[in-house]
Amino acid sequence: MNALQFAGWLPDLLEGLKITMAASLISIVTSTVLGAVVAIFVAYDNKIVTGILRVFVSIFRNTPLLVIMFFIFYGLPLINVVWPPLLCGILAITLNESAFVAEILRGSILNIPQGDIEAAVSLGLKKWQVSSKIIFPLAMRNSVPMLVGQSSVIVKDTSLFSLIMIFDLMRAGQAYYDKYLSSVSIWIVGVIYVLIFLALSWLGARLEQKASFKR
Amino acid sequence: MTIWQMIKYMLAGIGITFELVPLAIVTTFIFGMILGILSFKRIPLMKYLLKLYNVVMRGLPTMVVLKLIYYNANFSSAFMAALISLTLYHGAYIGEIIRGCFETVPVGQMQAGLSLGLSYWKIMFKIYIPQILKPMIPMVCSQYILLVKDTTLVYIVGVMDMMWRGRQMMAMTFDPISGYLLIGVFYYILCTLIEILGRRVEKSISIKHRGRMLGTYYR
The domains found in chain B, sorted by start residue, are 3-209 (1.10.3720.10)
A155 Cβ contact partners less than 8 Å away, ≥ 6 residues apart: A20, A24, A28, A193, A196, A197, A200
Q: Do A63 and B58 touch (CB under 8 A)?
A: no
A27 Cβ contact partners less than 8 Å away, ≥ 6 residues apart: A90, A93, A94, A97, A154, A157, A158
From CA A154, how far away is CA A150, in angstroms rounded? 6
Task: Please give the interface size between A and B, counted as residue pairs whose CB atoms are below 8 Å apart.
Answer: 130
Residues B145 and A62 sit within 8 Å (Cβ to Cβ): yes
Give the per-residue pLDDT at B175: 83
B93 chain-A contacts, CB cut-off 8 A? none
Q: How confident is the model at residue B53 (pLDDT cuts 50, 70, 90)?
A: very high
Percent of chain A having pLDDT more than 70? 98
Q: Minimal Cα–Cα distance from B62 to chain A, Å? A: 8
Note the pLDDT tens digit of each residue in A99-114. 999 999 988 888 888 8
Residues B149 and B188 sit within 8 Å (Cβ to Cβ): no
Residues B137 and B198 sit within 8 Å (Cβ to Cβ): yes
Note the pLDDT tens digit of each residue in A52-61. 999 999 999 9
Give the per-residue pLDDT at B210: 53
In this complex, is the C-beta atom of B20 within 8 Å of any C-beta atom belonging to chain A? no
Q: What's at B58, amino acid-wise?
A: R
Q: How confident is the model at residue B190 (pLDDT cuts 50, 70, 90)?
A: very high
B113 Cβ contact partners less than 8 Å away, ≥ 6 residues apart: B122, B123, B127
Nearest C-alpha in A relative to B180: A71
Q: Do A193 and B217 touch (CB under 8 A)?
A: no
B60 Cβ contact partners less than 8 Å away, ≥ 6 residues apart: A156, A190, A193, A194, B89
Give the per-residue pLDDT at B219: 61
Q: How confident is the model at residue A62 (pLDDT cuts 50, 70, 90)?
A: very high
Question: In this structure, what DSSP letter does residue A2 have?
Answer: -
Mean pLDDT over each residue of chain B, to the nearest integer: 88
pLDDT at residue A151 is higher than 70: yes
From CA B137, how far away is CA B4, in angstroms rounded? 36
Q: Do A187 and B181 touch (CB under 8 A)?
A: no
Q: Do A63 and B181 touch (CB under 8 A)?
A: no
In this complex, is the C-beta atom of B33 within 8 Å of any C-beta atom belonging to chain A? no
Question: Which of B93-114 are b and which e, b meaning 16 or more Cβ less than 10 Å from the residue's Cβ?
Answer: bbbbbbbebbeebeeeebeebe
B188 chain-A contacts, CB cut-off 8 A? 59, 62-63
From CA A167, how far away is CA A6, in angstroms rounded? 18
In chain A, what are the domains? 10-211 (1.10.3720.10)
Closest in A47, A62, A157 to B145, CB measured: A62
Residues A173 and A211 sit within 8 Å (Cβ to Cβ): no
Cβ neighbours, 10 Å, residue A114:
10
Q: Do B215 and A62 touch (CB under 8 A)?
A: no
Give the per-residue pLDDT at B209: 56
pLDDT at residue B47 is higher than 80: yes
From CA B165, how far away is CA B159, in angstroms rounded? 10
Nearest C-alpha in A relative to B183: A67
Inter-helix orientation angle A3-44/A47-61, to 10°: 160
